[in-house]
Amino acid sequence: MFLVRKKLPCHQQSSGSPPPQGRGRGWSCARRAALLLLLLPLIAPAQTLTLPDLIQQTLTTAAPGLQARAAREGGYWAYRAYQASYRPQLALQGVVPSFNRAIIPVVQPDGTTAFQSVRYNNSLLAVNLTQNIGLTGAQVVVGSQVQRFDDFIRTEKRYNNQPFTLGLTQPLGYFNALKWDSRIAPLLYQESQRQYLEDREAIAQRVTELYFDVLLQQVNAAVAGQNAQATAELLRVGREKYQLGRLSESDLLQLELNLLNAQQAQAQALLDAETATVSLRTYCALPTPDPTAGAAPLAVPTPAPTLAVVPAEALAQAQQHRVAVLALARRQLQAARDVAQARGTTGLLATLTANLGYVNQAPQLTDSYRALQNQQQVALAFSLPLVDWGRRRATIRTAELARDQTQAAVSQDQRSFEQTVLTQAAQVPALASQTRLAARADTLAQRRYAITRATYEAGRLSLTDLTLASAAKDLARRGYILALRAGWVGYYRLRGLTLFDFETQQPLAAQ
C-alpha cells in the first residue's frame, strides 16, 4: 500500500507535567500504538514513485501496454497478409503415393459390368505459380505437372507430362473482393498504427486517474493524522484550562468529540487509500510490496504543462492524425462494399476459364518431353436466375439501406468528434487557471489555520472559529489535488484526441 511517510506518534508529555486524565487520552494512545505497529513495515524508507514513472512502467510491462502493442502488431501482420495476396504465389502440389488395391466394377463394351481386381499407384506432382489481378479479380496460373501411373498387375507404367501450362480464370459479374481490399486494407493498417498512439494516451490518462485517486486518499490520511495530532494537543491544553476554570465543560466535550472524529477519519482514510492502491497496483502491474521493505509513497506532481491551444488548430490536428477520421472513411467504404457484394452474388454470374500448354504421354519420363502436343481448353460457365421472387432486389435494397444508415451514423459521429475536440481544447486555459487558483487557496488556507490556531491558544478566538479554519484548510488541500488531477487528465485527453504534442508542436510518434 502506498502511504505518505508520516509519523503517527502518541502525544508526548513534557517532563514534569502530569498526565491528563480521562479515557480519551488513553484510548488515543492505545489506538495509535496499534496503528503504528500495523503500519511499521509501510513507513520504512522507500523510493517515491512519480506519475511519469508509473505511466512508463504501465506502457512497458503492464497488461494494457502489452495489449496495445499486440493490437498494433496484429494490424501490421494483417496488412502484410493483404500485400502478399497481390504477389506471386509459388506452390508445390502433389499426391505421392496414391496406391489402390481393390475390386472395382468395370463397364464392358457390350454394356455389362464386370468386377475386376486392380492394383495400381497413381502419383501426381505439380508446381504452380499463381498471380491475382486485383483490377478484374482474375487469377493467372503458370504451372508444370507430371503424372505417373503404375499398374502392378500388368507390370506397366505410364507418364502423363504437362511441362508448361498457362491458365486464366476470370469471374464475370462476381463481387471483386481484391478490388475492395485494396481500398480498405490500407485504412485498417493506418488505423491500427494510430490506434496504438491513442491507446497509449488512454493508458496514461487512466494511470493518472488512478494515481490521483491514491494520492487524494494519501492526502486525506495525512490531513486526518495531522488533525488527530493537533486535536490531541488541543484536548490536552483544554483539560488544563478546564481545571483552571477557563474552559467550559461543553467545549471540553467538543474537543474530545473532535478527537474521536479525527481518529475515525484517519482510520477511514487509511482504508480508502488501501482500496485505491489495489486498483493502481493491479492496473500498473506493480509487484506486491514486501512487508519488511515497505511500499513506495506517491509524489505530488507539479501542475500540468500550460499549453497555448487554439480550438480550431486542435481540430485540424485531430482531423489529420486521429484514428476516428480514418475509421469514418473506412466505415463508409465497407458499407459501399456490402452493396457491391450484394450485387455480385445475385443476378447473372459467369466464369471464363482458359488454359493452354503442352502435353505428352510415354512409358518413360524422358520420352514424355519429346514430340509435345498442344492443348487448349476454354470454358464459360454461367448462372442466371429466372424467377427468384424478388430475392435479388430485396438483398440489394437491404444493403443499400444499411449503407444509408451507416452514412447517417458517420455524419453524426463526425459532428460529435469535432465538438469533443473543440470542447476539450477550449477547457485547457480554464484547467490551468483552476490549478493556479487552487494552489493559491491552499497556501492561504494553511496560513489562516496557523494564525487561527495560535490565536485560539492565546484565548482570543472560539473553538468554532478554529474548527471552521481547520475544515477550510482540509478542503483547500483536497481542492488543490483535485485541480491537479483535472489538469493532468485533460492534458492526456487532449493528446489522445489530437495525437499531437502541443508542447513540442510535433505529432505523436509510435515507438
pLDDT along the chain (511 residues), means of 10: 36 37 38 36 55 91 92 92 91 91 89 90 94 90 93 90 93 89 91 91 93 87 80 81 80 84 84 86 80 64 87 89 86 90 87 92 86 90 87 88 89 89 90 91 90 82 79 88 92 91 84 56
Clarify whether residues 211 and 113 are in a common domain: no
What gap in Å lies between CA 231 and CA 238, rounded to an integer? 10
Q: What's residue 21's pLDDT?
A: 38
Q: What's residue 267's pLDDT?
A: 85
Q: What's residue 291's pLDDT?
A: 53
Q: Where are the alpha helices (DSSP H) in 309-390?
A: 311-321, 323-343
Clarify whether residues 127 and 209 are in a common domain: no
Instruction: Specify if 391 maps to a domain.
Output: no
What gap in Å lies between CA 89 and CA 465, rounded to an integer? 85
User: pTM to 2 decimals?
Assistant: 0.74
Distance of CA 112 to the CA centre of its chain: 72
Clarify whether residues 318 and 370 are in a common domain: no
Q: What's residue 355's pLDDT?
A: 93
Q: Pull the grid cell for residue 445.
A: 488556507
Q: What's residue 121's pLDDT?
A: 93
Instruction: Specify if 485 maps to a domain.
Output: yes
What gap in Å lies between CA 236 and CA 243, rounded to an integer? 11
Clarify whether residues 260 and 316 are in a common domain: yes
Q: What is the 8-class DSSP label of residue 379?
A: E
> 477: domain CATH number?
1.20.1600.10
Q: What's residue 229's pLDDT?
A: 81
Domain that holds residue 426: 23-77+182-331+406-507
Burial 148-166 (b: 16+ CB within 10 A, else e): bbbeeeeeeeebbbbeebe
Clarify whether residues 100 and 236 are in a common domain: no
Q: What's residue 461's pLDDT?
A: 76
Instruction: Specify if 411 maps to a domain.
Output: yes
Closest CA to 330 of 189, 137, 135, 500: 189
Clarify whether residues 297 and 436 are in a common domain: yes
* Virtual torsion, Cα 426, 427, 433, 435, nearest 10 deg: -160
Q: What's residue 2's pLDDT?
A: 37
* Residue 400, number of CB atoms within 10 A of its CB: 16
Clarify whether residues 127 and 211 are in a common domain: no
Clarify whether residues 187 and 211 are in a common domain: yes
Clarify whether residues 253 and 283 are in a common domain: yes
* Start-to-end Cα distance in the chain: 32
Instruction: Specify if 390 maps to a domain.
Output: no
What gap in Å lies between CA 175 and CA 219, rounded to an integer? 64
Clarify whether residues 215 and 313 are in a common domain: yes
Q: What's residue 510's pLDDT?
A: 63
Q: Cis ω on the peptide bond leading into residue 305 (within 30° of 0)? A: no
Instruction: Specify if 394 maps to a domain.
Output: no
Instruction: Specify if 6 maps to a domain.
Output: no
Clarify whether residues 272 and 352 are in a common domain: no
Instruction: Specify if 397 maps to a domain.
Output: no
Q: Into how many domains does the chain fold?
A: 2
Q: What's residue 234's pLDDT?
A: 78
Instruction: Specify if 495 maps to a domain.
Output: yes
Clarify whether residues 165 and 193 are in a common domain: no
